[in-house]
């Protein structure tokens, strides 16, 4: 049943957010620490287990894949609700600070990526994988 996939996804996110909140509280800060990350790991582990036991049939899988496919439209909606007017009208200092932090961070990505075993680039997208919009 499709809902089983959606339910597994929802349960993973709730559990992950709870862990993130607890971790934040333990560190004494009013913020969620890594909730989405924990949720992802839980989803991967749980679905892998269920699949091996044959308890996560393609129908359940569809419930997860639907939301994965909704990701880009949701991000477009998110973009349309950002405070862009606030960012643009904030004056030079905020703009310089934001841009400089971005540039410094981006410049260090290739440096840090060299730590550990080198990674292979992903294969190019085939036509089936390309998100047709």
Partner 1 sequence: MDMVVELFEKNGLLVAFALVGAVMLFAGWLSKSLTRGRLQGSAIAILLGLVLSYVGGAATGGEDGLADLALFSGLGIMGGSMLRDFAIVATAYGVDLQEIRRAGLAGGLSVFLGVVVSFVVGAAVAVMFGYTDAESVTTIGAGAATYIVGPVTGTAVGASSEVIALSVAAGLVKAVVVMIGTPFMAKSIGLNNPKSAMVFGGMMGTTSGVAGGLAATDKRLVPYGAMTATFYTGVGCLLCPSVLYLAVRAVSGG
Residues numbered 54 to 73 that lie near partner 1 (CB under 8 A) are 61, 64-68, 70-73
Task: Give 37's DSSP letter.
Answer: H
CB-nearer residue toward partner 1: 3 or 67: 67
Indicate left, alpha or beta for 34 from its phi (over 0: left) and psi (-120 to 50: alpha): left
Identify which of 112, 106, 79 has the alpha carbon closest to the alpha carbon of residue 98: 106
Q: How far is the CB of 73 from partner 1 (least distance, A)?
A: 5
Q: How far is the CB of 30 from partner 1 (least distance, A)?
A: 7
**98 is a site residue for partner 1 (CB under 8 A):** yes
**113 is a site residue for partner 1 (CB under 8 A):** yes
**3 is a site residue for partner 1 (CB under 8 A):** no
**77 is a site residue for partner 1 (CB under 8 A):** yes
Q: 48, 30 in Cβ contact below 8 A?
A: no
Residue 122, C-beta contacts closer than 8 angstroms, at least 6 positions apart: none
d(CA 76, CA 128): 22
**99 is a site residue for partner 1 (CB under 8 A):** yes
Identify the H or E element spanning 105.
Answer: helix 92-113
CB-nearer residue toward partner 1: 54 or 110: 110
**23 is a site residue for partner 1 (CB under 8 A):** yes
**22 is a site residue for partner 1 (CB under 8 A):** no
List of E strands, 22-126: none
**7 is a site residue for partner 1 (CB under 8 A):** no
């Amino acid at each position: 049943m499709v809902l089983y996939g959606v339910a597994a996804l929802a349960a993973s996110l709730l559990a992950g957010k709870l862990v993130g909140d607890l971790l934040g509280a333990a560190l004494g800060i009013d913020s969620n620490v890594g909730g989405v990350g924990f949720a992802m790991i839980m989803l991967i582990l749980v679905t892998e287990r269920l699949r091996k036991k044959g308890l996560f049939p393609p129908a359940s899988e569809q419930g997860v894949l639907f939301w994965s496919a909704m990701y880009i439209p949701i991000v477009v909606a998110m973009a349309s609700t950002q405070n862009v007017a606030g960012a643009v009208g904030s004056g030079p200092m905020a703009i310089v600070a934001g841009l400089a932090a971005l540039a410094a961070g981006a410049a260090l990505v290739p440096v840090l990526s060299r730590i550990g075993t080198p990674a292979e680039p992903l294969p190019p997208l085939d036509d089936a994988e390309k998100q047709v919009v």
